[in-house]
Each structure stands twice: as structure tokens, then as C-alpha cells.
Chain A
Amino acid sequence: MREWVPTLLRGLLLVVLLAFLLSPGSFEPLLKPLVQPNAPAIYNQGSLLSLTLLHLRTVFIATLAATIIAVLLAILVTRPFGAEFLALSRSLVNIGQTFPPVAVLALAVPAVGFGEKPTLIALFLYGLLPIFENTLTALTNLPRSVMEAARGSGMTPFQRLLQVELPLSLPIIVAGVRLSVVISLATATIGSTVAAKTLGEVIIAGLQSNNLAFVLQGGLIVGALAVLIYDGLSAVEAMIARRTGTA
């Protein structure tokens, strides 16, 4: 494949996605064959655009919080002060990843009630793990020579962290964020089973009324968002890696 083909396909996907969100009605003939004659082919219990934005907002808030906490924790356990926690935090990450998202979501409901909050908690907890794991890997595998040079040039530990360790780790941290976002985008749809406003509403409405067109449009919007965000963050990652010379 030529180099520009994937970029073109992504551009096309973005255009189609935006067109569908801004004017879902014009796609009706395409989806019509999927439904019974009298059933609506386009989701009619709310605006797809606003659900998409709410979906993205939920994922964004959860991922932002997860990134901040995960990076801070990873920094803490890689300092001499927190070294005691390093091994434990590794096993906790391993254990944490075995918790199914649905279970986390369901268990959060008794604590905080229905709506957006349990979804945010589940996405936050589930998003923490890949970011923490990647940050930890990056911070513990920095080239020894670079670290020694930084120490030798008289940098304080804090300067080393901000000017050497974090910039060098950034591409791997971004890769963790990318993984986390893709998982969260899909997991957020399950949030609608506990009454969160996400694109899951469209899918669940489709499942309940046996409307395949609803399921398809909900699923495809989330899938398209995931592909675009994944590729976007991959590009960011590559850019940072080029700039810091770690590529």
C-alpha cells in the first residue's frame, strides 16, 4: 500500500462520521433495509451528536483523571521514598486487570448510585492500569548512561525527573493512554446499563426493540471514534518519539 492510502482512509472515515452525526437523516436509505417496515432506521430518542459528545466527555474526564493519578503513582514508586511499594504495585496492577469492567461498574452502583458516576469510576479504575503499567515500564527502563550523565551534570533529582526521565518516557506513557482510551470508549457503552448517557443507549435501545439499525449505528460510531483516536494518539506518540530521539 502506498503511504498516503491509510491517511486518506482515515480522512474519509472522519468525514463520513461527521456527516452521519450532523445529518443522520440523510443516511436513512442505507439503514432502512435492516429494520422492519414501520420501525425507525435512525435513532429517534435523542440526538446522536449530543450522545456522542457526552460519550467522549465521559471518556475524556475518566482518562484525564486516570492519567494524572497513574503517572503520579508511577513516579512515586520509582523514587527512593516509594521503592518499597514497587513490587506490590506491580502485582496490584496484575490483579486489577482481572476485574471485569461490568463487575466494576455494577459494584460501583451501590456506592454512588445510578448515572454517570459509576461509569466514570469504572472507566477511571480500568483506565489506570495500562497507563500505570506503561509509565512504570518507561521509568524503570531508562538508558543507564543518560541517567548517569544527568546525575553527573549536577541535576537535582527533581530536575532529572522533569527534564530527563519524563520527556524520555513520554512516548510510552502516551501509548498507555492510547490503550486506555480505546478500552474506555468501548466500556463506556456498558455504562448505559446503569443509566449513563453514552452511545450505549442507542445500542441497548436497539437490542430491546430488536432494531438492528440502532445497534449498528451505535456500534459503528464507537468503533470509528476508537479507530480515529487510536490513530491520532499513535501519530502524537511518533511525533514525540522523533523529537526526543527515542524512536
Chain B
Amino acid sequence: MRVRFDKLGFVIALLAAYGALWSSFATLKPNRIVQGQAEAMLQSLPVWAGWSLAGLLVAATAAALFRTSPWIKLLAAVAALAALTLAIGYAATFLTPAGNTYARVSPASGFWILLFAFALLAADAITRLEPPPGMRVLFLILAAVGVGALLVSGSWNGLSIMKEYSGRADVFWVEAGKHVELALGSLFAAVLVGLPLGILCHRVTPLRDGVLNTLNLVQTIPSIALFGLLIAPLGWVAAHMPGAAAIGIRGIGVAPAFVALFLYSLLPVVANTVVGLAGVPRAANDAARGIGMTGRQRLFKVEFPLALPVILTAIRIVLVQNIGMATIAALIGGGGFGVFVFQGIGQTAMDLVLLGAVPTVALAFASAVVLDALIEMNSRVPNGARSA
């Protein structure tokens, strides 16, 4: 049998070689904000661990280089990623001088490059496997369980980002709750208002352009400005409307952030509802009318199910966008993971920035995977119906 090479394998091998041989693996800093001293992979780990990691990475790179089954590639990628994440935690304990509580160890560029290289391999293997939506969600759950186990086992506790966390564990979960509340709450409100508005725009054509253009204009205002602009009107409402302050409406804080995210979310929801309803085949509607369905029955039993994938796509866009934008809420006292990002930027403590940014990215990524799976599951039936 002829041995065949994989082109992507070369890219991964080059990245891995650069990350392992020419970049540093971990950085040891005397305290949390100063520049540290970068250490190469074999210097960051005890001899046995360093060489085992190197051996495993070489084996995984070999699996990437040759054309083999995607399952083998996925297995190699997962093994390499697991080894890397374990090793960085181990490096932290190994590099930190005994008894020194100020010293911090963070992953350096080489670690991130290696992580990227093997994540690329995993992404490629998963793409080639073309897993059904359920299996993709299963992969996500397995990955989450793996990361969770690492966190609980304490093997990362020596890392700087975990030290930042342990100092503010309570605040972290409060802000995480606020972040999810902001992102999901504003999405929920946008769906509640946007769906009927979209249906209305679909039915009443003269309304459509006006509504969509206005919502389009809202999107052009940068998020930090919109957050700021809402402070004044909401402050006024809080001061002048009896009971408004009691239910949490205030000039600064969560309220303006919530309203801003809501306003940004409206356009995708309304626009996709209109597009989805417009895409319902005339024949389906005629048939429904023919068998004597009322307007309401048609809406809920025919038009809505057929438009669902397009509407779900809007929800995916909005949720991912909201999770990202909720970080900016921290600038106006709205809380969320942005608190750590902006505090970290202010203190030039990059591990604190990571503490805010990594969960945000993970949350956005996970919700995208779950909603993509949902969209795919829901579009099967209507597509089959459409081709009939």
C-alpha cells in the first residue's frame, strides 16, 4: 500500500514543530503583573514528563501527517490536547519555587500554538466525520466533562489564571450568573417582541421597510455608545416612575445593558422571521387553506414550523452575539465576565483578562454548537416536505 500524506498534516506539523521547538511553553513571573521568564517545553517539566509529552506530540503529529481514518486523527488530537492541558498544570507546580505564593506561572505562546495545532486537527477530523447533530452535542458534553474534571481535580491550581479565580471565586460565579442572565434574558425578550413584530411585518407589507430600516440603524450605533446613551432615559424613568426603581430599573447597571442587548437582538429576530415566513411555499399555504384551516391554524401548524429553521438561525446569531456583547456591559456597571476583562486590562494583569475572556469564548462556542445542532434537527422535516 502506498503511504499518502495529508496536506493539512503538514500545516499542523509545522505549527506543532514551531510551538514545541522554537517557542516557550510556560512563563514564570515573580508576581502577577511583571514580565516573566519564558521556559521551553523540556525545561518547564520534569525530565520524564517532558519527554513523554514530546513523544506523544510526535505520535499525534504523525497521525496528522498520514492519511488515516478520521477517528484515529480525532483520537490523536484528543490525546495530544489532554496531554497538553495536563502538562501545563504540571508545569505550573514544577516551575513555582516551593513556598513562594507570589510567583505566577502562565501558559506561553508555544502552549497556545500547540493547542491551536491540535484543536485544528480535532476540528478537521470532526468535519470529515460529518457527525449527526446529536453526536456533535455529545462531543461537546464530553469536552465539557473533560475540562470540568481537570478543574475539579485541581491539576490546574498552580496556574496563574486559577490563582486569579481562587481569589475571587464568589464574585466569579455572581458575574457569570449576571452574564448568562443578560445574554439569555435579552434574547428571550427579543424573541417575545420580535416574533410578533416579524409576523406583523410579514402580513402588513408597508410596515416592513420602515421597521427593518430602523432596526438596521440601531445596529450601526457602536455598542458602548448605545449602552451609554440608555443611561440617561433609564435614569429618568427610575427617578420619575413610581415602582420602576423597585423592580431594578436604574440609570447605570444591568438595565441599560439589558435594553441595549435587546435592541441589538431585535433586527436578526424580526428580519429572519420575515424571511422565514416569506420562504413558506405558496403551495403549502394554499393546501392548508384548501383543507379549511383558519388563519391562526395556518400560522401555527404550517407557516411557523416551515419558517422555524430560519428563525432558529436568528436565535443562534443573537445568542452568540449577546454573549460577546454582554462583556461590554461591565463598562457601565452591568456586570458579567467583562468585569474581569476590563479590570485585567486596567491592572495589566493578563491572567485576569483570561479569566473573563476564556469563559466568554467557551460559552459562545458551546451555545453555537448546541443551536447549530438544533437548527439541523429542525430543518430535516421541512426540507423533506418542501421537496415533495
Contacts and interface: CB of A to CB of B under 8 A. Distances in A.
Interface of B is mostly: helix
Contacts of B328: 102, 190
B211 to A, nearest CB: 14
Given A95-B123, A193-B342, A207-B332, A102 B8 contact: no
Contact of A212 (B221, B232, B341): B232
A222 B220 CA distance: 7
Given A100-B327, A102-B328, A106-B345, A219 B350 contact: no
A186 B224 CA distance: 9
B231 interface: yes
Interface stretch (A41-49, A85-93, A141-149, A150-158): A85-93
B221 A106 contact: no
A82 B10 CA distance: 13
B344 interface: yes
B88 to A, nearest CB: 16
A122 to B, nearest CB: 12
Contacts of A95: 123, 365, 368
B222 A200 contact: yes
Contact of A189 (B123, B225, B353): B225
B229 A215 contact: yes
B221 A222 contact: yes
Assign chain A's interface to a size class: 35 or more
A108 B228 CA distance: 25
A88 B124 contact: yes
Given A88-B124, A88-B127, A193-B331, A207 B228 contact: yes
In the complex, which of the residues A84, A97, A182, A215 has the most CB atoms of chain B within 10 Å of its own CB atom?
Answer: A215
Interface in A213-232: 215-216, 218-220, 222-223, 226-227, 230
A193 B344 CA distance: 11
A103 B228 contact: no
A116 B361 CA distance: 23
Contact of B324 (A103, A203, A223): A103
B361 A100 contact: yes
Contacts of B124: 88
B203 interface: no
A225 B160 CA distance: 42
Contact of A88 (B8, B324, B338, B365): B8
B176 interface: no
Nearest to B27: A110
Interface in A63-118: 82, 84-85, 87-88, 90-92, 94-95, 97-103, 106-107, 109-111
Contacts of B197: none
A106 B341 CA distance: 7
B109 interface: yes
B368 A103 contact: no
B357 interface: yes
A103 B350 contact: no
A212 B225 contact: no
Contacts of A212: 228-229, 231-232
B195 interface: no
A123 B142 CA distance: 33
Most buried by A among B6, B123, B228, B328: B228
A85 B324 CA distance: 28
B354 to A, nearest CB: 7
A107 B232 contact: no
Nearest to B356: A106
A98 B364 contact: yes
B321 to A, nearest CB: 8
Interface string B317-350: 0001001110110011000001001101100001
Contacts of A101: 324
B320 A97 contact: yes
B229 A103 contact: no
A185 interface: yes
Contacts of B320: 97-98
A5 to B, nearest CB: 12
B16 interface: no
Contacts of A16: none
B360 A200 contact: no
A219 B221 contact: yes
B324 A102 contact: yes
A100 B323 contact: yes
Nearest to A212: B232
A183 B54 CA distance: 41
Contacts of A227: 217, 220
Given A106-B357, A212-B229, A230 B368 contact: no
B217 A110 contact: no
Given A103-B360, A212-B231, A215-B225, 18 more contacts: A84-B6, A84-B7, A87-B127, A88-B8, A92-B120, A94-B368, A98-B364, A99-B324, A101-B324, A102-B341, A106-B345, A189-B223, A207-B224, A218-B222, A219-B225, A222-B221, A227-B220, A230-B220
21 contacts: A90-B127, A99-B324, A101-B324, A102-B327, A102-B357, A110-B350, A110-B353, A189-B222, A199-B222, A203-B224, A204-B331, A206-B228, A212-B228, A212-B229, A215-B229, A218-B222, A218-B225, A222-B222, A223-B221, A223-B222, A227-B220
Nearest 8 Cβ contacts at the A-B interface: A219-B225, A100-B324, A215-B228, A226-B220, A186-B222, A103-B357, A189-B222, A110-B350
